[in-house]
């Protein structure tokens, strides 16, 4: 019994060392594979115990585990949609063959890196056939509230390079200095005019014309102006008229003292804004706060539009797409506009190494890994997303070669057990002779 158990232990030793050699071969062969996670073989002794006949060898068995939580070094690339995860978390992807026909997917898989480029339909996919998944943004660039414990809200990331994008103007900020000398008795009372371009809902260029007319007193200085606003889209119709009064105090000279509405939107002293209605809808005009140093001022003898800013843009073509550290996919247009079109989440789960390994360095959640949760990149336990980067293989070739030598020696030693047992059995047979 003891001799035969020695043979069984030797067989188990050969099998387990062959398993370890297989994992080493796999790791070395994938030492240049982006995103590869090495496999580790672990040995466990089998103890059968002792009985009246003596000790019985139980042998050994091997278990293998893919070390998904180990990360390889990141290397830079020249492609903006080459993505890698720096830290914990995995990027959701789907098989391209599912997306191509339906625009949807059935199986969400996870990976830590990928070189994504737009295909003929605009889907960001890898050469191995993995399509990037993300949450689509609303028209204003915000990501809607979606469930985080399911892939139902995810959609294939699709880029349309022929997309035209225009943003209507909804807000204008005025930084203008009016000449104080024009409100003094005896001045010419010359009106000052300012035209500000804006973009309507169809991306067309229009303008609001703002006239500042001084009030001329009989004596002294009035420090008062009448501001009228007209809209070119409505044939020059008057959309707002307000009376502006400036203070001449020692501490706040030249700042707004009051804004009185004649027609159009009322002045909000809390925000410093009025709201007028251009043809395409309401528009905020920021005049500045009462007593504030920004916005409108009345100083010296110079009319100076110091800073005029507005939102919105003309219609432009998409020029490039980039992914930021928090997973937001931004489309850039030749008009200088940046628009958020998707957000790429990062999946995490209690036991990352318990996932099922698939082809192309992808993984699928399993009962052993626990349920996944989709985090915003950089939040919770997850790291961030790095664009222009790939993750190299986590294989340490030097360590694998060292393990190969040890495994070879262990295999040879186990084979020696067979030779020894064979010699013992031969001696036992010779006893009969």
What are the pLDDT digits (tens) for 228-285?
999 999 999 999 999 999 999 999 999 999 999 999 999 999 999 999 999 999 999 9
* Domain membership of residue 47 as a residue range: 2-67+394-432
Claim to verify: residue 100 and residue 182 sit in the same structural domain: no
Q: What is the pTM of this model?
A: 0.74
Q: Report the C-alpha gap between 348 and 344 in whole angstroms.
A: 13
Residue range 86-105, pLDDT digits in tens? 999 999 999 999 998 888 99
Q: Average of pLDDT values for 313-318?
A: 84
Claim to verify: residue 293 and residue 375 sit in the same structural domain: no
Contacts of 329 (CB under 8 A, 6+ apart): 134, 157, 321, 322, 323, 340, 341, 342, 343, 344
Claim to verify: residue 381 and residue 409 sit in the same structural domain: no
* Domain C-terminal end among 311, 341, 357: 311
Q: Report the C-alpha gap between 136 and 95 in whole angstroms.
A: 19
Claim to verify: residue 335 and residue 426 sit in the same structural domain: no
Give the number of domains in the chain: 3
Q: Which two tokens stand for residue 195?
A: 């035209």
Q: How many helices (H) does the chain have, and how many strands (E)?
A: 3, 33
Claim to verify: residue 202 and residue 268 sit in the same structural domain: yes
Claim to verify: residue 273 and residue 331 sit in the same structural domain: no
Claim to verify: residue 306 and residue 353 sit in the same structural domain: no
* Domain C-terminal end among 284, 311, 338: 311
- In the chain, the percentage of residues whose pLDDT exceeds 90 is 77
Claim to verify: residue 57 and residue 27 sit in the same structural domain: yes
pLDDT top residue among 319 and 241: 241
Q: Is residue 164 part of a domain?
A: no
């Amino acid at each position: 019994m003891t001799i035969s158990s020695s043979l069984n232990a030797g067989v188990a030793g050969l099998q387990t060392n062959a398993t370890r050699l297989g994992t080493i071969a796999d790791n070395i062969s994938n030492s240049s594979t982006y995103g590869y996670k090495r496999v580790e073989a672990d040995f466990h002794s089998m103890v059968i115990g002792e009985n009246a006949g003596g000790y019985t060898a139980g042998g050994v068995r091997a278990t293998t585990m893919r070390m998904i939580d180990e990360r390889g070094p990141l290397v830079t690339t020249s492609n903006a949609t080459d993505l890698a995860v720096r830290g914990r978390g995995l990027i959701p992807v789907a098989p391209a063959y599912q997306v191509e026909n339906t625009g949807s997917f059935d199986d969400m898989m996870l990976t830590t890196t990928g070189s994504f480029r737009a295909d003929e339909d605009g889907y960001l996919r890898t050469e191995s056939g993995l399509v990037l998944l993300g949450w689509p943004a609303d028209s204003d660039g915000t990501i809607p509230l979606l469930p985080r414990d399911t892939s139902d809200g995810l959609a294939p990331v699709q880029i349309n390079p022929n997309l035209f994008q225009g943003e209507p103007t909804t807000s204008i900020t005025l930084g203008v200095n009016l000449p104080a000398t024009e409100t003094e008795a005896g001045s010419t009372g010359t009106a000052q005019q300012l035209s500000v371009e804006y973009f309507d809902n169809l991306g067309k260029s229009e303008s609001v014309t703002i006239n500042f007319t001084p009030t001329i007193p009989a004596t002294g200085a009035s420090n008062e102006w009448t501001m009228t606003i007209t809209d070119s889209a409505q044939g020059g119709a008057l959309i707002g008229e307000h009376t502006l009064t400036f203070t001449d105090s020692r501490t706040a000279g030249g700042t707004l003292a009051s804004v009185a509405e004649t027609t159009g939107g009322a002045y909000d002293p809390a925000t410093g804004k009025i709201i007028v209605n251009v043809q395409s809808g309401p528009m905020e005009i920021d005049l500045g706060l009462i007593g504030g140093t920004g916005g409108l001022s009345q100083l010296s003898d110079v009319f100076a539009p110091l800073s005029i800013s507005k939102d919105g843009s003309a219609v432009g073509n998409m020029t490039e797409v980039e992914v930021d550290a928090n997973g937001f996919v931004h489309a850039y247009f030749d008009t200088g506009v940046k628009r958020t079109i998707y957000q790429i989440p990062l999946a995490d789960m209690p036991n990352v190494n318990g996932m099922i390994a698939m082809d192309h360095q992808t993984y699928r959640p399993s009962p052993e890994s626990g349920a996944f949760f989709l985090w915003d990149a950089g939040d919770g336990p997850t790291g961030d997303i790095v664009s222009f980067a790939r993750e190299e293989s986590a294989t340490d070739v030097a360590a694998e070669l060292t393990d190969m030598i040890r495994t070879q020696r262990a295999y040879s030693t186990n084979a020696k057990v067979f030779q020894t047992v064979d010699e013992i059995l031969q001696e036992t047979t010779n006893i009969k002779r």
